[in-house]
Every structure is written in C-alpha cells, then in structure tokens.
Amino acid sequence: MAQKCVFLDRDGVINGDKVDYVYKIEDIRIMDGVKEALEKLKNQGFLLLVITNQSGIDRGIYTEEDVFLTHIEIQNRIGNTIDEFYFSPYHRTISASMGMKPGSLLFEKAMAKYDIDVSQSWMIGDRIRDLIPAEKLGLKTILVDSEYPDKVDFKGNFASDLLEATNQFILV
C-alpha cells in the first residue's frame, strides 16, 4: 500500500544552517517547533525522510562518518521521528551527481523503496533547489523561511518554519 510522506531538507529546516557546514555535534541547533511538527506528522501517519546535500564530504571538509554521527545526534534530539536519512556526498564542482539536489535520484530511490503516494506527499526545504526535484516528481512543496536570497521571487507555498508548514499546509 502506498504511503504518504514528508520529505525534509536537513540544514535550515530541521537544524540551523551554517555557512561552513553542520557536521560537529556541538554545531547542531534544532530549530524551534521541529520536534512538535515531526511528532504531529508521525501521529498522522506520514513517513518522514530527510534528503540532504552534504557536499563537504567531496570537498574533504568532513567524512561520511561525521554525517552519520550528526544524524544520530539529530535523531536523539527530535525523538527518533525520522524514518531514514538520504544524503549526497558530492559537490557540483568536483563530482556531478543526480543525487545532489536539484537532482532527483535520492527522491526516486526513496519513492521506490517506500512506495510513496506522490499525491499525498510533500517536500519542505529552505532553498529553491530543494523543491525543484520534488516538483518535477509531482510532490507538493513548501519553502520555509530562509536567509538566502532565492526566496524573493518564490510564488509557491511559504511558511516561517516547519511547524507552521505542518499546521498551515499539511495537517489542514
């Protein structure tokens, strides 16, 4: 049976983003309302999957092990509500990959593995590039507040954070 799902970007949606990457436990800062939003979504039967670019691996700044440890710590802080983390270790200037957003490969892998019902599923990101592959695949999208300039011309669903996105668009 097909499942409804919320795909989530990691940095800027679940935890605070940093210009020089979030890969150390001490740099993880869970955004306000995230735990509550994820619990609401789980209680409504949504599968929760993270799709994140982790290009610092390809650039030699941190390792896949650092990413795994970061994901474990995030799970501990949010009540283990994420069903699976998918990440792309590539950087566009070093190793081109369709797994790196705005490519859609990681979404497609998750959709095949979990038999995702696209008509009942969402992608929440803090950058337009997070939403591009989701829209191509027929997912509904929400851009959450971002410090980045690409939101200026955005005409789609917009929320200040994950909790507002959950309450305003998904659980209505």
Residues serving a catalytic function are 9, 11
Residue 105 CB-density burial (10 A; 0-12 exposed, 13-18 middle, 19+ buried): middle
Q: Which residues, in sequence order, are CB contacts of 35 under 8 Å at separation 6+?
A: 77, 78, 79, 81
Domains: count for the chain: 1
Whether the predicted pLDDT of 149 surpasses 80: no
Q: What number is the average pLDDT over the span 111-117? A: 97
The reported pLDDT for the residue numbered 75 is 98
Residue 159 DSSP SS3: strand
CATH number reported for the structural domain that contains residue 105 in this entry: 3.40.50.1000
- Rounded Cα–Cα distance for residues 56 and 27 (Å): 15
Tens digits of residue pLDDT in 19-44: 889 999 999 999 999 999 999 999 99
The answer to whether 13 and 124 are in contact (CB under 8 A) is: yes
Distance of CA 5 to the CA centre of its chain: 12
Give tens-digit pLDDT for 63-109: 999 999 999 999 999 999 999 999 998 766 666 676 778 999 999 99
Q: What is the span of the domain harbouring residue 150?
A: 5-170
Residues pairing with 51 in the sheet: 86
Instruction: Give the Cα separation of 12 and 16 in Å (integer).
Output: 5
How distant is the alpha carbon of residue 125 from its chain centre?
6
Specify the pLDDT at position 91.
Answer: 62
